[in-house]
Amino acid sequence: MQTMERLREHVVHILATGDVDAIPSAVAEDYVDHQGLGSMAIRGQDGFRRVVEAVQQQTEVRVTIEDLVAAGDKAAVRLHWEAADDSGRRTTRETLDLLRFSDGRLVEHWGAEIGRRER
């Protein structure tokens, strides 16, 4: 089984690059995103794919892990996001995410935005 650090990095890589082909190796079929996407419930690998596609609607997407704390099958991660929209306006934001893994794949996510700046 992959280490927790590699699992976290793999999930962040998918979000940052849009590599949806890597989703089955990183996300469980019964994945539940308790944060959702707007008013849309996110479940399973297809739901995670919708999140990745929403992130990738922006350009120049960069996602980095700023802080993390892991214990057992869970990790708390502070992520730094940078992206631009079609008009070139840049957005920087930070999120705090709690991830739960099982059998080497992401099974649950809780998240909240903790800061945002647009330029």
Q: For residue 15, what are the domain limits?
A: 4-118
- The CATH number of the domain where 36 resides is what? 3.10.450.50
Give the pLDDT means over successive 10-residue stretches in the chain (119 positions). 75 93 96 92 96 92 92 93 90 95 95 92
C-beta pairs of 71-77 under 8 Å, 24+ apart in sequence: 73/100, 73/101, 73/102, 74/98, 74/99, 74/100, 74/101, 75/4, 75/8, 75/99, 75/101, 77/8, 77/12
Q: What is the reported pLDDT for 1?
A: 44
Q: What is the pTM of this model?
A: 0.89
Question: How many domains does one find in the chain?
Answer: 1
